[in-house]
Amino acid sequence: MDAMIQAIIQGILLGGLFAAVGVGMNMIFGIVKITNLAHGDFLILACYLSLFFMGSFGANPFLSLIIVVPLMFFIGFALQATMLNKVLNRGDEPPLLITFGFSIIIQNLLLYFFTANAQKLQTPMLLKSISITDTIRIPVMYLISCLAGIVIILLLGVYMKNTYMGKAIRATSDDNEAAQLMGVNIKTTYGVAMGISMMTAGVAGVLIGILFNFYPNSGSTYLIIAFAVVVIGGIGNIYGTLAAGIIFGLAQVVGGQLLGASYQQLIGYLVLLIMLIVRPQGLFSK
Amino acid sequence: MGTILRVENLHVAYGKFKVLHELSFEVEEGEVLGVIGPNGAGKTTLMNALTGLVIPYEGNILFDGHTITKLTSDRRCRLGLGRTYQVPRPFEGLTVFENVLVGASYGTGGNERTTAARAIEVLKSTDLYEKSDIVAGKLTLLDRKRMEIARALATEPRLLLLDEVAAGLTDAEVREVMRLVDYLKQTGITIIWIEHVIKTMAESTDKLLCLATGTRLIYGDPQYVMHSKEVEEVYLGVEEE
């Protein structure tokens, strides 16, 4: 029984992190209408950026966020402004190819500069946990990750609702042509949206780098998680992403608890598959 | 009073299909120009070319002294060119207030402090103020048309393009919209107004331009244009189909 409760806690907490992994991709799906195939790789790029700055300045990974997050915004904005914006009205394939190309480029650059060795962002926080009972414990890093996911999503919601740029982004997402006629420069809004998406990838990436080992080609694992979260939550629905992350996290951890850890991922994807069959538009889409 | 818009020898094509050719006309500041013509005459394409949704392959568009032929829509908007759609295209996920606010903030090119006030003023003048907090996707057609105008108005246009504002409305609703158009005229905004049904607009315009097969058929005083042989033929031709 305790083991099950432990699994549920862990599943929910992991879900918050999964939401952070997927929310940026969901934004870009909904706003720019692009499937960013490099989303996972950008996440891993953030891991390595953090590793690099930690090494350079002896900082702890949390501190590296101060550099990594703005840097990721800049990378996202630049990617959108210099490449994706150039192919806006050329159909679905060109942007897909660009992001796929980026996926390959990032993986190989990381391989070149950091080798294929497993890496991890070190922090003593990883070993800490809060004891609830003798057998049930909340791992502090999981808790932090989950809270980070929730905070990211709440901040995004507030930004979209209350700022002029947020409103412009939503307007562009609804009808980009009409938005332009209202004076909105959609290339800028797309750039900002991609930048924000990359900021969320930056935070999620650093958290993942602390919790799990990563390699230059780890991105695809997280791309699939992001996909799952987007599909379950519904495209363009930021809050749905949070619920979807938790559902996906719970499915993995609780399923793993019932059937054995080696089935964890399989169960997660079974849930995704069932979702695609039963409710392909996502749980929270109209 | 000067010329606010000058269209010179405009040619527009979609692929190989030529929609507009050798079209030239001018609009004076403060004037209301009606654009009429049968289906397929190129009225909406003219709108699209003026607002930058399609780029002409030949010819020039001068707005207020600037050559805007190849500018993007958002820059034209900030220069003072507004437009409404025949079928309203609200930002459905945003409230009425937010819809208008986007126009008021981005369309005017700055001054965030007065933006909200401007949005509220526009909502009041278009009878939408009570509906500010409704999500735009839930509006009736008449209110959507109103908001379409409100949104364009919020961008502080000097030239406003109205694309079949009366289309799809009942007679009573058309009268409502006409009241709004009269209000627009009083504010001194220059208007280019496209309508398929000419009787709705003939009385409210200063000049009429009739397009047929992608170019200018006849241009002049509404009474003169309405009763010209050319217009009669074009419109009778349509009715016979």
pTM: 0.89
pLDDT at B241 over 60: no
Mean of the per-residue pLDDT values of chain A: 92
For residue B168, give its domain range: 1-80+160-241
**Is residue A283 included in any domain, yes or no?**
no
Query: Does a structural domain hold residue A285?
Result: no
Pair (B96, B65) in one structural domain:
no
**Which residues of chain B does A178 touch, with a Cβ-Cβ cutoff of 8 Å?**
85, 89-91
Q: What is the ipTM of this complex?
A: 0.86
Residue A33 CB-density burial (10 A; 0-12 exposed, 13-18 middle, 19+ buried): middle
Percentage of residues in chain A with pLDDT exceeding 70? 100
Q: Cβ separation of B93 and A178 shorter than 8 Å?
A: no
Q: Determine the pLDDT at residue B107.
A: 85
Domain carrying residue A114: 2-278
Question: Tokens standing for B73?
Answer: 């829509």
Q: Which residues of B touch A (CB under 8 A)?
A: 51-53, 72-75, 77-78, 82-83, 85, 89-94, 98-99, 101-103, 105-109, 112, 115, 151-152, 154-155
Q: Give yes or no for residue B239 having a pLDDT over 60.
A: no
For position B179, which CATH number holds? 3.40.50.300
Do B98 and B72 reside in the same domain of the chain?
no
Calculate how close chain A gets to B139, using CA atoms only, in Å: 16
Tell me whether A184 touches chain B (CB under 8 Å): yes
Residue numbers of A between 144 and 173 with CB closer than 8 Å to B: 164, 167-168, 170-171, 173
Show residues of chain A in contact with B92, CB under 8 Å.
Answer: 174
**Claim to verify: residue B183 and residue B224 sit in the same structural domain:** yes
Is A182 touching B (CB cutoff 8 A)? Answer: yes
Confidence of residue B143 (pLDDT cuts 50, 70, 90): very high
pLDDT band at A282 (very low <50, low <70, confident <90, very high): confident
Count: domains in chain A = 1
Least confident of A62-71, A103-112, B105-114: B105-114
Q: Looking at residue B123, what is its pLDDT?
A: 94
Q: Which of B156, B176, B211 is the last residue of a domain?
A: B156
Which is more confidently placed, A214 or B229? A214
Residue ending a domain, choose from B102, B132, B156:
B156
Whether B151 and B208 map to the same domain: the answer is: no
CB pairs under 8 A between A and B: 78
CB A17 within 8 A of CB A211: yes
Q: Do A177 and B73 touch (CB under 8 A)?
A: yes
pLDDT score, position B111: 63
Closest C-alpha among B13, B15, B72, B76 to residue B214: B13
Residues 6+ apart with CB under 8 A from B142: B169, B173, B176, B177
Per-residue pLDDT tens digits for B40-95: 888 889 999 999 999 999 999 999 888 999 999 999 999 999 999 988 999 999 99
Strand partners, B160: B82, B191
Using a CB-CB cut-off of 8 Å, the residues of chain A touching B82 are 181
Residue of A nearest to B54 (CA): A177
